[in-house]
Structure 1
Amino acid sequence: MSWERRLYTAAHPFAYPLLRGLARRGPVVRVPGVGVVVNDAATARRVLMDGEAFRKDGPGSPGDLWTPVLGPSVLLNMEGDGHRALRRRLTDLFTPAYSDALCARVLAGPLDAVAARLAAGAEVDLVDVMRHAAGAVIARVIGLDADEAACRELFEQGERIVAMVSLRTRRLSPAQVARARAVLEPLGGAAAKAYAAGDESTVMGRMRALGLSEDEARGAAGAFFLTGTETVATLVPRLIALLHDTRHLDRVAADRSLLDAAIDEAMRVATPTPVMLRSVHAPARIGETAVRPGDRVLIATHNCCRAYGPFDPTRPQPPELRRLWFGAGPHFCIGYPLAMAEIRRVAGTLLDAAPLAVTGRAAARGVLLPAYRTLTVRKARA
């Protein structure tokens, strides 16, 4: 069994075999109690591009999960004119140049320490590295001045909230909503303080300059915290493991022009967003399947992506994929440049230390996003 499959089966021992079994039923299949499942990338893209018929704010959609926690206006649970207006104001928030500069500032110290440990021949746990790195980046985004211990605690708080959700979850219970709000409340306070300061070198200050209200900035901070932190943190160890296991690591280390293609291919195989949800708002067809208002659509992103074979960073990806794991159309992830900047920065530090050997690993259990519990590496002999 490949390590990627082990990660999925450890995280979702019952739901994952069911999800993969549905891939063999065809591109679109109606499953009682689940909804209409989409297993084909081109079909999935058409659904995601149609924000009129397929929405994120209806029954069975992400809005059912996150609106009680984050409020009604945080992009991931909005549609229509309100969504378009808010997204236009946020378009310039995470430009590639700004995202790269932010990650360079925040991660310089932690990554220098990682590089020094690898150069000295010590083992480094990439899962632990990413908990610190992802916590540090999101702390800066929110406006927190956090030391290493606080960054790790911040990451763990987000992890505990996300762990409340499984592939079968439709709504959080009142107790779960209360726990999530208790975690997010102090973060919202920090975001509001940074917003009030108006420093445009901070993300919250830039939101104020872009014309967002304080409530919109607080909601956005919570959404970034919940949806972006763990996605990036789980991906980097999987990227390095995939490169190592397929013997592509040294090649990418020697030619950094290959890194972005390797990241995209790792995201295709790992599929950090294994499923996406939509609620049907108007009568439509998905392939040959008729759907009606109130139907739930489950886009099996993992099935869509894994249909294109095993990990191979030298193989071009077809147009219908085009970073499908970040969404498509009006809901394409607005934090994509920040995620890529963070991944590139950490991966670059690790590749600088190549050749690397994986010295130990274990799969995480009880998590929403399949992940390594530990993945240790050490500088190998050339």
Structure 2
Amino acid sequence: MSIAMGSMGSMGSMGSMGSAGQPEYGGLPLNMMLVDALIRTRGGIVDELNDTATIKPVYPPIDDPNNMALWAPSVRLHTSLFDLIAPLRFSSISATPGNPRPGAKLDVGASREIATLRRPSDAEFYVFFGQQLKLMESWAELRDERTCEILTQLTPQFAFWDSIGQLELDRRRWTGELISLALAFASFVEMRFKHALSVPRPVAYSRKIQPIIPTPMHGSFPSGHATEAYMVAHVLESLVPSGWQASLRPQLQALAARTSINRTIAGVHFPVDSQAGQHLGQSLAEYFVCLCTRDARWSASPPVQGGWYARSYNPLDVGAGNQDFDPAILDPGSLISDPAPSSLPPPSILGWQWIMARNEWPATAPV
């Protein structure tokens, strides 16, 4: 299950049921008693309409980013999500005699790489993941200790991020919306990679894995939890003022690693899935920050404003299948700096959301 479920509305749909189990529309229970009451009330208080327009609204400018303040959060999310996805190009990589390991690649346009992931070749597949299963056996010993974490991290980890960074989303709602946007974007991209790479889940290799949570019905590689956890960590590190970064970064990175490992302990991910998710999440986060800050006069470091690091991950480049998840081996990547204006859309909507969130953070972190 992706941790972006809540941000995508899957969990929110539960709120569409009224207190008596009645469906809701526009915040009102849909029952005939209320509908009849509204009809009768209007008939009793509204005089005959002699004029056709008693209110004359002012039309906002076309495609003005400030219009985003007029919409519901779900509308802002989908509007901004379009601008994030529109420049992207996804392609699969077939195995060749020179490189028998197939993969998938995400670019901006036709040539500006964001991330490339490869899986083991057909000949290497079962040996590699058989070695990964042995690592999972050792991690399974921590199930008693980590069960509460595993269950509470099925959905986005806002409580954990709040515990570290004092998100206080009642006061920082724009930050909450920005994180939800980052989660939704990561979820879209990771699912495309999962489909292309189509790596079976651990339970498909052994009946002794016996996960303690339902196995998600999508591919194992890369890990969605790792992708999204590392994406949120970098977005928050880039969003907050410099006075916050030194104390936040190590804790956010440690939380992302622990969240990723918990999925292996639960029995639904190989360690290598989290390694791939870390690579993908970091590069997606840098691309996200790039699009949000191009007109926000705010430099994210690393990387420099206007760029991201393109990363490539091939699990067998790191080692054999007995290689455990190690956050320290993140590929530094190749910096893609100052993308040509024609390769990226005008960032005004995303920039508006970034500034609204950025303005919620004081320059100095509380002691």
Could you say which TM-score interval applies, normalised by the shorter chain?
under 0.3
Higher relative contact order (CA 8 A, sep 6+): 1
Compare CA radii of gyration and give the structure with the larger one.
2
Q: Which has the higher helix share?
A: 1
